[in-house]
Amino acid sequence: MSQNEKNTDPPASSGGALFNAAALVLADGTVFHGAGIGAIGDAVGEVCFNTSMTGYQEIITDPSYAGQIITFTFPHIGNVGTNDQDIETTTPAARGVVLRMDITQPSNWRATRHLDAWLKSHNLVGISGIDTRALTRRIRDGGPPNGVVAQAAPGAALDIDALIGKAKAFPGLEGMDLAKDVTCRQTHGWSEGAWSIGDGYAGAGTPKRKVVAIDYGCKRNILRCLTDAGCDVTVVPATATAEDVLRHEPDGIFLSNGPGDPAATGEYAVPVIRDLIDSGKPVFGICLGHQMLALALGCETEKMELGHRGANQPVKDFTTGKVEITSQNHGFRVKRESLPDSVEETHKSLFDGTLEGIRLKGRPVFSVQYHPEASPGPRDSHYLFRRFTDMIDGEAN
């Protein structure tokens, strides 16, 4: 047993019922024991944390979490159950989840399934009952470690040494192209708008503009926001060529969020983005799309020591002078010192000063690091979709 092992008591719920043995094992040998939730088995990935207080189902289904094990800092996860509407993709790409408290019975009129059953249905491994505050401090101080979350079969034990070996063998996210794992497989249309009580998801209405969205791991709510902004949206795979995009004769081009290292995905995406910029069409990027747009404009990206993941991140918009509270999920960033003279910084994090937005001077091309579509999170930044459509309309006039 590792000298770093924690929580050595056998897993049990607050009601005394025994759970399957489970552990979160880090590559340095640290072991957190707890109660198993979700699927039987183990999953390896980068261990990160998210500070959001709501929206756990949207977080778990965000494709940008591919290759990662999500630690929730808010203790009450699962209390509103799950449903078939609050998802950002059909098949979650996250590797597993880490919780503080046992999952309670859902208490919400929209709930259709217990979180534990939902995790099992997607073969997601999880653990509850560990000291997430200690784990979060560990990540905050030392950066996101590689780790394995594992749940033993009923009555079985975990091979901790083997799990440490798996954690050590994981190469990490730097240099990984994960967009190919989460992108759509073929071009398709999108016509679903925002959700509202009593009506569900709205229809497309009468679109005024044609937009092609390149899917590097796109969240559904981004596409809904584009639809609500009056766009006829066509989604193409991450590997689409400039010709594939332009043959749809779009009025604007959107570069989506996604997982992994932007420099790795950029090997095939950046040349395409450069050609799309040269076409003169308005271009808007979010998250990974922002990072790769920056690479196409001559900037550099780097892995962050910690990353931004949560729904309470303050950002200043230099264009308006306003501060907005944003939803974020990224572990890489654009290096401010690499911006060429042709590129202007438009947004800045008020947490740590990270560059959060850029625009190409004199051209209808811009991007932000954070998530204006929220889901979950505040809606302070929805104006960016209007900014995009205003650019499109300006180009059309």
User: Known catalytic residues?
Assistant: 287, 371, 373
Task: Please check whether residue 34 is in contact with residue 59, taking contact to mean a CB–CB distance below 8 angstroms.
Answer: no
Q: Which residues of 322-343 are buried (b: 16+ CB within 10 A; e: fewer)?
A: eebbbbbbbbbbbeeebbeeeb
Read off the tokens for 76. Answer: 């009450």
Q: How far apart (Å, rounded) are the C-alpha atoms in residues 194 and 85?
A: 11
Alpha-carbon Rg of the chain, whole angstroms? 21
Q: How far apart (Å, rounded) are the C-alpha atoms in residues 334 and 372?
A: 18
Map 265-281 to HEC letters. Answer: HHHHHHHHHHHHHHCCC
Q: How far apart (Å, rounded) are the C-alpha atoms in residues 171 and 157?
A: 26
Q: Which residues of 43-81 are buried (b: 16+ CB within 10 A; e: fewer)?
A: bbbbbbbbbbbebbbbbbbbbbbbbbbbbbbbeebbbbb
In sequence order, the β-bridge partners of residue 365 are 283
Find where tokens 């993709």 sit: 89
Handedness of CA 393, 377, 328, 313 (dihedral sign): positive
The 8-class DSSP code of residue 229 comes to T
Phi, psi (degrees; rounded to nearest 5) at 317: -95, 110
